[in-house]
Amino acid sequence: MGVLTRTCEDVEIDAPLQPTAQSGLRIDHTTNDGLLLAVILDALDLGPGDIRWKLTCISVVWWPGNESPWEDSWIDDDPLELSDEAFRHQATGITQVINGRFSAYRDGTEIVAVEAVDSSFWLVWSDDATILGYMRGRFPKASPASPPSPFHPYG
């Protein structure tokens, strides 16, 4: 079917990454059949302003002719950074995210982080109650989440 973009042996990360937010939601794939990253992004209303996304340790399924645009997300010192428009456009072509963190920033402050965990569920982290409220409305079976996050780049 596909090939992972990177393996855990390619990058050395000592400890699991943690979100900056203290509140979150867990959205299981089993309760939302075939939940793609683009669907999660469509549910996020981040309001006005310049949004930049930082992508870290993204592993996706890909195949010849549909390669991952996010190979550079594995560079520890400088995560891959994209505009909101470019990121959302690229996400429409992604069929499965194995693991990864997608963090949205406005004026240098993280406003939301979306984590894919072992192709099993999504975590959406934000201290903005409005953002989490929109997500709860879109995914009524989502459950509350709190740190520490089970996300680890190695799965």
**What is the per-residue pLDDT across 102-131, written as a single tens digit (0 to 9) for each?**
999 999 999 999 998 888 899 999 999 999
136 compared with 19, residue with greater pLDDT? 136
CB atoms within 10 A of CB 22: 10
Q: Where are the alpha helices (DSSP H) in the chain?
A: 37-43, 84-91, 129-138
Question: Cα(80)–Cα(62) distance, rounded to whole angstroms?
Answer: 18
Is 127 part of a structural domain of the chain?
yes
At 50-108, the pLDDT tens digits run 999 998 888 877 666 766 777 666 656 677 889 999 999 988 878 788 888 899 999 99
Quote the pLDDT of residue 9: 42
- What is the rounded end-to-end Cα distance, in angstroms, of the chain? 19
Q: How many domains does the chain have?
A: 1
Question: Cα(107)–Cα(125) distance, rounded to whole angstroms?
Answer: 18
Query: Residue 19: which residues within 8 A CB-CB, separation 6 or more?
Result: 101, 110, 113, 115, 123, 125, 147, 149
Is 5 part of a structural domain of the chain?
no
Task: Provide φ and ψ at 106, rounded to 5°.
Answer: -125, 125
Residue 10 has pLDDT above 60, yes or no: no
pTM (2 d.p.): 0.82
Q: How many CA atoms lie within 13 A of 107 on its CB side?
A: 4
Is 28 part of a structural domain of the chain?
yes
At 32-55, the pLDDT tens digits run 556 788 889 999 988 888 999 998
- In which residue are the tokens 């990253």 written? 37
Q: Which domain holds residue 97?
A: 23-145
Is 1 part of a structural domain of the chain?
no
Q: Is 134 helix (H, G, I), strand (E, B) or coil?
A: helix
Is 30 part of a structural domain of the chain?
yes
DSSP tag of 66: B
Quote the pLDDT of residue 139: 92
Is 98 part of a structural domain of the chain?
yes
Is 29 part of a structural domain of the chain?
yes
